Structure 1
Amino acid sequence: MRCLIRLNSPSDESSTRPLRGYSDASKPTRRHHANRRQRRAFSTCGNMSPNVNKSWVSEEKNEYNEGADTSTTATAPRKYEILYMNVLVYLYGYIAALYGLYLCFTSAKWQTIVFGCISANASGLGITAGAHRLWTHRSYKAKLPLRLILLVLNSLACQNSIIDWVRKHRLHHKYSDTDADPHNASRGFFFSHVGWLW
């Protein structure tokens, strides 16, 4: 099978010639194809965070980086506000976990422990296979019964609705590690741990 490549300007009719194989191509052409493969391999990364001036990885657009602000602007220091309801909810969660661990070794039946382990893994599957892979990144297609099962498993994780989860995670990919990122790790340990959830 033969292919044509253009050696000079597009207006020059004599610049096209048939190639018999990849080895017939000049070194710049081979380098161009290698660079194109690299760009294609990294094209899902999207634009880098706004504190980086130039990204060599991708001139291509995807659904996460369209319209992303890549300018470097100075922002005012962030004022932190403690959301006491969130603190109480998570404090209750830690106390309940410690109490459950105590019951696990003192009076819980083995069936309860097995059910708890299965429920924890099922909720993780609902988040990773459902909210993350299926609805956020659309990395596969699922029929209605599987979508309903993943919806129920996602609700076991208690991480708000799927619509809210998907919106926040797409913003996280679009504005990674900036003030617009809902999961911004530069806002400190407490925010990275629980502050981003609500």
Structure 2
Amino acid sequence: MRLFHYHYWTPQPKEMEDFYTHIGFTVKLRIGKRNGPFETFNPPLTWDDFQPSPPLFRTIEMVLGSVNVTFGFGKTAKFDHLGFLVSQEEYDSICKNAESLSLKVEEGERRTFIYTPFGFKIELQRRADAVPSLDGRKIRKMVLIIRNQEIPQLFQNLLGEIPIEFEPGEEIKVGLIEFEGPLTMEAADPCEVLLKC
């Protein structure tokens, strides 16, 4: 099982894209709406091409090594979900655990979501091609800020041992993402997620 992904809603999608581009991520996908149905606005298009009225982006997907970060427009910065790449055996075990914990499981063709009672979801991804690369940058550790002390036990019962630590706070959010490899920078993205790369 590999933690590879997190998703935020944000009122600052351009600033998020600029931040992650600056630290080495590349845009893989942009899906948005401008005067009609959702469509793609993928590279080589840039934000300059979207002026003076940029699309309302539902998803911007950025990748670096085996790390996948997505975000979409929201009125406030809000943590939505995190994702794990899992084997079929791990998938079956986690879904069985979710059932025993009375958690809603939404199976999809591309990914499966497990809904927690705490306002965020856990994504299970079985398709290795959904992870940009199994080499390069990897998430070594995530720190989740939590307001409910039942969350660590839920993760333990559902997933077992994972590279996530928990710290108390007023709202549920990602406090820190630490990448494997030598530390070359430390900076917070516009959603206040501290990245150590």
**TM-score in terms of structure 1 length:** 0.23
Give 1 or 2 for the bigger CA radius of gyration.
1
**TM-score in terms of structure 2 length:** 0.23
Between 1 and 2, higher relative CO (CA 8 Å, sep ≥ 6) is seen in 2
Give the structure with the larger strand fraction.
2
Give the structure with the larger helix fraction.
1
